[in-house]
Amino acid sequence: MKRAIFPGSFDPFTIGHYSIVMRGLEIFDEIVIGIGINQTKRNLFSVKERQNMIEQAFVSEPRVKIQPYNCLTIDFAQQVGADFVLRGLRTVADFEYERSIADANRKLSGIETVILFTEDKYAFISSTVVRDLVSFGKDIRQFLPPGVTVPYIKQS
Ligand code: ADP
């Protein structure tokens, strides 16, 4: 059984993230989406809201599990019995960051990181852009996975 975690903040989980997980299912038997709880980051959506939105996206995909975590990513991987970390790469700007984390994780735990290049059409989508649109009351449904409803639109 090949199991990977897909860790991130997912504030919110976008169609770009969704595409990486769906493609990851071609490689892995099971993917655990880990919602990293970072106390120092100010979030728009609560962990519960993020979890609900991701659950809606994968309601008919039993090979995808969703779990919040507040420990080191490699410790989370070990807790859920995953040997791989799945990540997505949009631009060269992501590259150095992803490489340094992947190297550190492999040296500390032996856990390998598998990186998928984003599909072209999703390369510009980031949680930050989506959050900005939400704060100005814009409809963000086209940037979310199919079937996901936004709990509410927060005004700034
Ligand atoms: P983090 O805070 O750990 O960067 P994110 O929620 O921003 O978490 O992203 C999680 C993973 O998804 C990262 O590997 C990131 O590069 C990737 N990712 C983010 N947006 C996209 C996208 N539009 N297409 C593909 N991968 C993406």
Residue nearest to atom 27 of ligand 1 (CA): 88
Residue 147's nearest CA partner among 69, 56, 60, 67 is: 56
- For the stretch 139-150, pLDDT in tens is 999 999 999 988
Ligand 1: distance of its center to the CA of 49 in Å? 18
Contacts of 133 (CB under 8 A, 6+ apart): 140, 143
> Which whole number is the average pLDDT over 99-124?
97
Q: Tokens 């919040």 — which residue?
A: 68
Residue nearest to atom 9 of ligand 1 (CA): 8
Quick check: CB of 73 below 6 Å from ligand 1? Answer: no
What pTM, to 2 d.p., does this model score? Answer: 0.94
- The count of other CB atoms within 10 Å of the CB of residue 54 is 22
- For the stretch 51-102, pLDDT in tens is 999 999 999 999 999 999 999 999 999 999 999 999 999 999 899 999 999 9
**Site to substitute for ligand 1 among 31, 53, 118, 128, most atoms within 8 A of C-beta:** 118
11, 142 contact by CB (below 8 A): no
Q: What is the DSSP letter of 120?
A: G
Quick check: CB of 51 below 6 Å from ligand 1? Answer: no
Domains of the chain: 3-143 (3.40.50.620)
Quick check: CB of 125 below 6 Å from ligand 1? Answer: yes
